[in-house]
Amino acid sequence: MPTTSTNTLVFPRISHDSSNESQTKVILNVFLAFQLFGLVGLSVILFTAAVTRSWKHPSWINFCVAWILSCTSYLLLIGRPLHYVPPQQLCLAQAVLVYTVPTLTASATLSLVLHIFRMVQIRGEREGKFLTVSLVVFPYLAAAGMMTISLVIALNDPETVRRTPTGLYCNMANEIPGKVSAGVVTIVMLICIFVEAMTGLKVKKNWTLLKSSASLARSTSTTTTTTTATSGTRSRNGSSSSASAVTHSTRPSNHIRTATTTASGTQEETNPRTDSLIVLTIKVLVFSVFSVFAVILGIFFTFTPHHGPALNIVLSLIPVAAVLVFGTQRDLLHAWASGFRRLRDLLISSFGCFTKGSSVLHRRRMRGSWKGRRNHASTESQEKMVVPQDAPANVSEGPSSPTQVGSSSSCVSKGVLEDC
């Protein structure tokens, strides 16, 4: 049994040339920035979909979760310098994840593409629970298999774990995990391209039916809304038909589904979501362009043991493309616009209440100070007009002439009684 070192990692020497090191730092920062953008963007998209309670298929949610895990695995060394030597456990974990997440994201993309292909066929039956569960579980089963292969190789030969010469992440000097991962990703993405091509043909064939179904769903929804408003008006007027009108308006969704199913003969659950389905299908087809890039990169990684950092930069652009493509859906944009408007109104109202409260407080303070000055002045005047009880007799008896009255008054007002 060969002895292996458990406390040291093998790291290739990075050149200490200033120009080469600065270029490597730029590549590292760009790579991490793209991965961080993908992580934050997809997390915001997933959080928005959960908060707004907008209906999303589990395969769509699974797609976002897979890319979030992928971006997280590449960011385990973020904030570390270029010559930082990570702990063995951390580097081993990242090396295993780096070979696992490409299989996870490729399989999640295939599940989403299969779901879209299933939905655009305009059939009457529903998508069964078994198919939905299979689309969700399949990516994780494939990723678990790839993780097992990588983990076994890493544990049997820990010295193969290393940090890449560019310092982007940790991987293995053993080429088996990389070749297996690239081969699996290539096969899965080739299947994705085939299914996406079939989906494009289906959309082109059923485009008229899809648009008519969407228009019928919108018109039925508008009619039901008008009926609900009318029934509410009748119930307020107290007419005899208000009870039946209210009964009809309490379950408008059933009428929407029944009318749409009778007119178009399609599945009643998918008609209200036809617009979203069309938009999502177009976005998946746009994202398929990056599937072609993934296939090319997979073939290159399979047959080329050494590759430069430029290919890693191209690889890091895929989560950025996922954010830009799937983050511009109409319901998400409306939710963000509504949230920004509410935040703006809240800030304006808070600032208005603050300024209004400050002005009211200032007026109250000014009014209180004015009242205080007025009360103080009246108190002083009353104190000056009070005649002391121990005044002389000639003053209390009153003056005998007008001149004496004037002098007495002036003396009293001055408070000087001795001179009178």
- Per-residue pLDDT tens digits for 296-336: 776 777 666 666 677 788 888 888 988 988 888 777 888 88
Q: 201 or 123, which is more confident?
A: 201
Give pLDDT, residue 145: 95
Look over the chain and give the mean of its residue pLDDT values, rounded to a whole number. 71
236-275 pLDDT, tens per residue? 444 444 433 333 333 333 333 333 333 334 343 444 455 5
Give pLDDT, residue 196: 87
* Choice among 35-44, 50-59, 114-123, 399-408 with the minimum mean pLDDT: 399-408
Give pLDDT, residue 312: 80
Per-residue pLDDT averaged across 88-104, rounded? 93
Predicted confidence band of residue 76 (pLDDT cuts 50, 70, 90)? very high
Do 294 and 70 form a contact (C-beta atoms < 8 A)?
no
Per-residue pLDDT averaged across 81-99, rounded? 90
Give pLDDT, residue 27: 87
Q: 41 or 414, which is more confident?
A: 41
Provide the percentage of residues in the chain whose pLDDT is more than 90: 20
What tokens appear for 245 in the block? 């009108």
Do 48 and 332 form a contact (C-beta atoms < 8 A)?
yes
Query: CA-CA distances (angstroms) from residue 137 to 145, 148, 218?
Result: 13, 17, 34
Short-list 2, 109, 98, 124, CA closest to 60: 109
For each of the domains in the chain, give its residue range(s) and CATH number, in order of start: 18-204+287-328 (1.20.1070.10)
Predicted confidence band of residue 43 (pLDDT cuts 50, 70, 90)? very high
Short-list 333, 389, 411, CA closest to 52: 333
Per-residue pLDDT averaged across 63-71, rounded? 94
Do 318 and 297 form a contact (C-beta atoms < 8 A)?
no
Give pLDDT, residue 303: 67
Short-list 218, 248, 214, CA closest to 230: 248
Q: Give CA–CA dist 322/67, Å, rounded.
A: 8
The single residue listed with the structure tokens 């599940």 is: 111
Give pLDDT, residue 315: 83
Q: Give CA–CA dist 44/65, Å, rounded.
A: 11
Q: Give CA–CA dist 49/373, Å, rounded.
A: 62
* Choice among 109-113, 257-261, 331-335, 340-344 with the minimum mean pLDDT: 257-261
Neighbouring C-beta atoms of residue 246, cutoff 10 Å: 14
Predicted confidence band of residue 371 (pLDDT cuts 50, 70, 90)? low
Phi, psi values for residue 172, rounded to 5° = -120, 145
184-236 pLDDT, tens per residue? 998 998 999 899 888 888 877 766 665 655 555 555 444 444 444 444 444 44
This prediction has a pTM of: 0.65
Using the predicted structure, report yes or no on whether residue 129 has a pLDDT greater than 90: no
Q: 311 or 387, which is more confident?
A: 311
Q: 232 or 178, which is more confident?
A: 178
Provide the percentage of residues in the chain whose pLDDT is more than 70: 57
The single residue listed with the structure tokens 């059939």 is: 123
Q: 302 or 137, which is more confident?
A: 137
Q: 311 or 105, which is more confident?
A: 105
